[in-house]
Amino acid sequence: MGGPRVVHVRQFKEHGLVPFLWKYLVESVRVGYYHNKYEVEAREEARRVVLANPNHVLRPLPKHAQPRNQA
């Protein structure tokens, strides 16, 4: 097991649950979800885990998760 969930569990163990949630919320308000340093760290770990698995197959996002066309 690895990836973003493991990173978030480690983050809240390091900071404490309530302080982590507060820092996460403040960071999200400050820079947005995508640039939130806690999310960036989790995405980087997920990418590392995926690249380390030679059997990983990329699948398209489900329709509900695909970016909307901005016309």
Which amino acid is located at 28 in the chain? Answer: S
Q: How far apart are CA 18 and CA 12, in angstroms?
A: 8
- Return the pLDDT at 47: 83
Q: Which residue has the tokens 């809240």?
A: 12
Domain ranges of the chain: 4-53
Q: What is the pTM of this model?
A: 0.66
Q: Residues 6 or more apart from 44 whose CB is under 8 A from it?
A: none
Tens of pLDDT, residue by residue over 7-52, are: 888 998 999 999 999 999 999 999 999 899 999 998 888 888 777 7
- Return the pLDDT at 35: 92
